[in-house]
Amino acid sequence: MITAPVRTTPPIADGRAAPPALLVGSGLRKRFGRTEALRGIDFELQPGELVAVMGRSGSGKSTLLHCLAGIVPPDEGTVMFEGRSVGDLGEGERSRMRRTSFGFVFQFGQLVPELPAIENVALPLLLNGIARSRALEIAAPWFPRLGLAGLERRRPGEMSGGQAQRVAVARALVTRPAVVFADEPTGSLDSLAGEQVMELLTAAAQEQGASIVLVTHEARVAAYAHREVIVRDGRVSGPAAE
Amino acid sequence: MSVPHALLGLLNQRSSHGYDLKHAFDRYFSPEHPLAYAQVYSTLGRLEQRGRVRLDAIERAEGPDRRRYAITPEGADELDRWLIEPLEPEPRLQASLFTKVVLAILTGRPVEPLVDAERHAHLKRMRELTAVRRSGPLPVALLADYALFHLEADLRWLDLTAARVDELRRQVLAIPEGS
């Protein structure tokens, strides 16, 4: 089985070295009980890059995302973020890295149902110690951009699935993270709502210079990415890069 | 659908007569639209001229002589290249994709490399169309959407086929000759 080569400093056309990768997973292995979810995966993400991770259910693609994001430690292999080994960080530091440098969007927005939309967007800022009034001030301009002007005080249960997911995208990006991890962000939406979420996610990430790791089984969603990585049986399969 | 490559694939299994090739072709690839004998023989003639097949034997029986053909190393190389080379992604590829998958199985080649290559080519084309859709006016975007949905359907079919390849291999190899 072919695995993608690790390219820590890929050469570029004029001979200069490309900037170092932002996020590098090397030789990642992860086992859950008797199931080997990852069997030695190499993965690399450049600054500003959008990579789609595709594969069937149970292929290991979500486990890969969790390992790269420092949510789940790999059994073997290393994850380097901005040149630092995530495994060497203490839990406090790792948690801080996830709050300040990473953003997350999941299939079901996982918004806090009791909080109005604007407070859901502001939540990561509050967790980072920013004063409430300032956090709400930063969150407010997202709403016209989300196409949700006037809905700031709605609770998630009072919004459509597409609207709630757009709120989740804003929450992921409000801290200006370096990497957004999106796990099936359109999985529960119809085509049009899914398209709106992807437009918002990719445009906002590009504007902020954020990279995206996008786990999806939908080709139309993966087509927003610069390249795709196919995971099959815990390994990377086929052409991993252009 | 590439009839020359389908015949090369069938000959890669074993040397065969035009008559048997025609029936194998119909059985695997085109049960509703049988191939004309004339097309089989003219295709074999062209493949022979190009050195992709050779005359293996002439068998004399009642009626006309039966010419048995065999694939040459050049023919096997061409088949290898064709199987792995992704098709130009466009709507309605299913007949050609299906031919490739079945020929890979019949000739004992792995299916995954051709599925991966095709998926990669499809996604590349879908990225181009997505860029068109995002930058163009609505009429252009809707046309791009039409192509995107069809390419996505091909990919879903490929994924489903890849997921069932072991069972497909078992069933394809079990199809009795002459059925």
Least confidently predicted of A73-82, A88-97, A134-143, B38-47: A88-97
**pLDDT higher than threshold 70 for residue A13:** no
In 10 A of CB B106, how many CB atoms? Answer: 19
Q: Do A224 and B130 touch (CB under 8 A)?
A: yes
For residue A33, give Cα distances in angstroms to A30, A36, A37, A69, A75.
10, 8, 10, 21, 12
A212 touching B (Cβ < 8 Å): no
Q: How confident is the model at residue B5 (pLDDT cuts 50, 70, 90)?
A: very high
Give me the residue spans of the domains in chain B: 1-83, 85-179
Task: Indicate if the alpha-carbon torsion angle B55, B73, B83, B10 is positive or negative.
Answer: positive
Residues of B in contact with A56 (CB under 8 A): 159, 163
Nearest by CB: A238 against B116, B152, B156 = B116
**Percentage of residues in chain A with pLDDT exceeding 70?**
90
Residues of B in contact with A238 (CB under 8 A): 112-113, 116-117, 119-120
CATH code that applies to domain A23-237 = 3.40.50.300
Q: Which residue has the higher pLDDT, A65 or B85?
A: A65
Average pLDDT, stretch A61-67? 93
B46 touching A (Cβ < 8 Å): no
Least confidently predicted of A3-12, A38-47, A203-212, B114-123: A3-12
Q: How confident is the model at residue A12 (pLDDT cuts 50, 70, 90)?
A: very low
* CATH, domain B1-83, list 3.40.50.300, 1.10.10.10, 2.40.30.30, 3.40.50.9100: 1.10.10.10
Q: Are the C-beta atoms of residues A127 and A98 closer than 8 Å to each other? A: no
Q: Do A223 and B159 touch (CB under 8 A)?
A: no
**pLDDT higher than threshold 90 for residue A170:** yes
Q: Do B112 and A238 touch (CB under 8 A)?
A: yes
A220 touching B (Cβ < 8 Å): yes
Mutate to test the interface with B, among A192, A197, A202, A228 (most CBs of B within 10 A): A228
Mean pLDDT of chain A: 87
Q: Which residue has the higher pLDDT, A27 or B165?
A: A27
What number of residues does chain B have? 179
Question: What spatial distance separates the first Cα and last Cα of chain B, rounded to whole Å?
Answer: 22
Structure token digits, residue A119: 């407070």
Edge-to-edge strands of the sheet including A35-45?
A: A35-45, A23-32, A76-81, A84-85
Nearest by CB: B116 against A222, A226, A239 = A239
pLDDT (0 to 100) of residue A135: 96
Closest of A3, A63, A50 to residue A23, by C-alpha: A50
Closest residue on chain B to A50 (Cα): B127
**Residues whose CB is less than 8 angstroms from the CB of residue A138 and which lie 6 or more positions away in sequence, other chains included:** A122, A125, A130, A174
pLDDT (0 to 100) of residue A149: 92
pLDDT (0 to 100) of residue A16: 57
pLDDT (0 to 100) of residue A69: 93
Q: How confident is the model at residue A67 (pLDDT cuts 50, 70, 90)?
A: very high
Q: Which residue has the higher pLDDT, B95 or B142?
A: B142
Helices B37-49 & B3-13, crossing angle to 10 degrees?
Answer: 80
pLDDT (0 to 100) of residue B98: 83
**Residues whose CB is less than 8 angstroms from the CB of residue A113 and which lie 6 or more positions away in sequence, other chains included:** A155, A156, A157
CA angle A43, A47, A52 (to 5 degrees): 50
pLDDT (0 to 100) of residue A3: 39
**pLDDT higher than threshold 50 for residue B31:** yes
B48-81 pLDDT, tens digit per residue, is 999 999 998 888 777 777 889 999 999 999 999 9
